[in-house]
Homo-oligomer: A and B are copies of this chain.
Amino acid sequence: MMDTDTPLSPTSRRMQARIIEAVIDTVAEHGISATTLALVAQTAGVSQGVLVFHFRSKEGLLTATLRRQNAEYRDLWLQAQTKADPLDRVLALLRADYSPEICTRRTLALWFAFWGEAAARPVYRDLCEAAERDRAQAMEQAAHDLVAIYGGPDAGLLARAVDSMTDGLWLQMHLHGARMPRKRALEQALAHLRLLMPHLADRI
């Protein structure tokens, strides 16, 4: 069990998913530093022992959570890759970052929690970095294709500008909460994109 790729029994799979949900809730509400096995167990409605049984340690529990978070995020933006037209692809990638699944108090808090510990824990750093990089490459590819067809600024710069805007708006949503709702953030990101590509503004 755990991080080997042994096929999990449905029972275990369900339990692990349930536990990870509880971890996310706990971290989002209390922060990583106040997340304890007892609290997670209580939130999940199971005994403390089962956490260790499935994830070996608190550390294992947190990295598993981060891994699942990464996978879920990846799944989300991979769907956006299916579009044929590069502008649609860029827009879909962008919209994915402002989807209701991502722009939750819960989810944003989780990302920032792990980013906050990333400097201290190489495991977190590597996982966060990898997720970020994969996504950035996808955007860069899409931007490259876009510029090749429609023209525009340097593709790399364009991609990074869009992604950076996202990080900034995520921070705003994370800190300001209700005063920067998802829809406003999305509208701002789109306005930014229009500014970067005035010649395609009518399609954005």
**Interface set of A (CB-CB < 8 Å, partner B):** 28-34, 105, 108-109, 112-121, 125, 128-129, 132, 153-154, 157, 160-161, 163-169, 171-172, 174-176, 188, 191-192, 195-196
8 Å CB contact of A167 from B33, B119, B164: B164
8 Å CB contact of A163 from B30, B157, B168, B174: B168
> Taking CB as reference atom, which chain B residue is nearest A160?
B188
A115-B174, A132-B175, A160-B168 given; 15 more Cβ-contact pairs under 8 Å: A29-B119, A32-B33, A109-B119, A109-B120, A112-B116, A113-B117, A113-B119, A115-B175, A116-B117, A125-B175, A157-B192, A160-B188, A161-B161, A163-B168, A164-B167
The answer to whether A192 touches B161, judged by C-beta atoms less than 8 angstroms apart, is: yes
Chain B min CB distance to A198 (Å): 9
